[in-house]
Amino acid sequence: RTSRVTLGTDILVAAFYHPVRLAEDVALLDVMSNGRVTLGIAIGYKPDEFALYGVELEKRGARFEEQLRIMTGLWTDGRVSFKGRYYTVEGRLEPPPVQRPHPPVWVGGWGELTLKRAATLADNWIPGPTADLKRLLEGKQRFLDNRRAAGRTASITEWPLTRDVIIADTDRAARELAERHIMVAYRKEYAGGWRHPFIDASIATDLDRLMADRFIIGGPEHCVAAIKRFVEAYGMTHLICRTFFPGMPHTHIMRELELIAREVMPAFR
């Protein structure tokens, strides 16, 4: 049992879920946890995933906007009457979430439309692990500009950030794990036929460049220093660690969690 741990998704691809079911699941989890849920959600981008679910990739943005409107309506009003291009919903939601007006919604993604949706339809923006610090700061500024343009003046108190993390007892051990696991995944994902807008083939094969301001990799002391750099340079208040990669032994993943809890987290309390 937990009483303080925040439960959240990072990132749930909205197009693969019906908004009523998703709103119900989030509300129920919020009740069960007594208001400790954050929904991290995005439109998605991988063609093979959309093909698997039989969902049109090109329509995901407009579908996403309808989903957010339906879910927030169900959470805040309890009842919704909505007729859109993709969804028609008439009904109410029980039980309502504990958090009012609703659990925080953090939108992930990088496109200009995504940053506008995050600023106008959600509570926050959550950057993924692939962008360097320069792009993080540019995205943050565009998000804030969009909020002001929409007349949303409430200050943002949390700045979440997702990073790829490998922590081990020593810097050398962490680097060896990175070469065996995370770099294999990056070379396959980003240096092959598919092109990511932030990682070209040269970066995807260069661990040192990725460690400069993307990865958090090393022993506890090195990881603490890397996290502090993101706090100081970006204003990060909420770090989401992606700590597992293809082929990584479960025993090491558990060791990572132990090191984070015992050696890293105390530095920020």
87-134: per-residue pLDDT in tens? 999 999 999 999 999 999 999 998 899 999 999 999 999 999 988 999
**184 and 112 within one domain:** no
**R_g over Cα of the chain:** 19
**108 and 22 within one domain:** yes
Q: β-strands 238-242, 88-92: how paired?
A: unpaired
Residue 174 lies in domain: 156-269
Residue 204 CB-half CA count within 13 A? 18
**For residue 168, what pLDDT is reported?**
97
Compute the average pLDDT of residues 220-243. Answer: 97
pLDDT at 253 over 80: yes
**For residue 201, what pLDDT is reported?**
65
**pTM here?**
0.92
Asked if 185 and 33 count as a contact pair (C-beta separation under 8 A), the reply is no
**241 and 174 within one domain:** yes
pLDDT digits over 24-43, tens only? 999 999 999 999 999 999 99
DSSP assignment string, 111-154: SHHHHHHHHHHSSEEE--TT--HHHHHHHHHHHHHHHHHTT--P
pLDDT at 200 over 70: no
Cα gap 9→40, rounded to integer Å: 5
pLDDT at 188 over 90: no
**For residue 1, what pLDDT is reported?**
76
132 within domain boundaries: no
pLDDT at 195 over 70: no
* CATH code, 10: 3.20.20.30
Asked if 122 and 157 count as a contact pair (C-beta separation under 8 A), the reply is no
**For residue 146, what pLDDT is reported?**
97
Compute the average pLDDT of residues 243-250. Answer: 91
- Tokens representing 61 are 């943005």
What's the CA dihedral at 186, 126, 44, 150 to 10 degrees? Answer: -150
Q: How far apart are the first and last CA of the chain?
A: 22
pLDDT at 196 over 70: no
Compute the average pLDDT of residues 175-199. Answer: 79
- Residue 125 or residue 188, greater confidence: 125
**203 and 86 within one domain:** no
Cα gap 66→18, rounded to integer Å: 11
Task: Tell me what the pLDDT averaged over the chain comes to.
Answer: 93
pLDDT at 194 over 70: no
**190 and 264 within one domain:** yes
**96 and 13 within one domain:** yes
Domain count, the chain: 2
Is 108 strand, coil or helix? Answer: strand
Q: β-strands 160-167, 79-83: how paired?
A: unpaired
pLDDT digits over 48-72, tens only? 999 999 999 999 999 999 999 999 9
131 within domain boundaries: no
Torsions phi, psi for 266 (to 5 deg): -60, -25
